[in-house]
Amino acid sequence: MSKLYIITGPAGVGKSTISKKLAECSSKSALIEGDEIYHQVVGGYSPAWKDGNHLNVFWKICIDTIKTYLKAGYDVVFNYIVNPDKLSFLKQSLGDFEIKFVVLMVDEETLLLRDSQRPEDCQMKERCITLLNSFRNKGFDDNNVLDTSKLSVEETIEIICNNNKFNI
């Protein structure tokens, strides 16, 4: 049976890196980067955190795309900001499939180091700490949180693949 991996966490924590490597582990997989879908809108674009955003359309596209791949036998890695309320919606919409939900977290020092290694125009600097603290206060189940501060990409992938605690 196809699996859905939902990877979330604050900016700079390594969602894209982990998601890509995780998708590469499966012989038949699709990687869905939520940001890429959200930024497909050009005319009428509004940032996700502002009024007038297009999140309703975005989530419909994501659910439909994920379902299409899963039904065709692909493992799907979906990477986006997912809060506990949105997780409930995803479980309701995709509950017929096996789902692993992972909240990637790091300590502040590691986050700032990773942020500094991004291209200058992509660095968030102190804002990434604000987002990290926001994620800490969202009320995620501890079973879904993975602190990668001292883990390599390979170790992180191994833990996600082999640990059932992330199953929802």
Q: How many domains does the chain have?
A: 1
* Single pTM value for the model: 0.93
Task: Tell me which residue has tokens 């206060």.
Answer: 137
What pLDDT score does 12 carry?
Answer: 86
pLDDT digit string (tens) for 123-143?
A: 888 888 999 999 999 999 999
What pLDDT score does 94 carry?
Answer: 94
Report the C-alpha gap between 139 and 87 in whole angstroms. 12
Contact assessment for residue 105 and residue 21, using Cβ atoms and an 8 Å cutoff: no
What is the CATH number for 12? 3.40.50.300
Burial (0-12, 13-18, 19+ Cβ within 10 Å), 48: middle
| Local confidence band at 15 (pLDDT 50, 70, 90 cut-offs) | very high
Provide the H-helix boundaries in the chain: 15-24, 34-38, 55-71, 84-94, 108-116, 127-136, 153-162
Q: What domain range is 151 assigned to?
A: 3-166
What pLDDT score does 152 carry?
Answer: 95
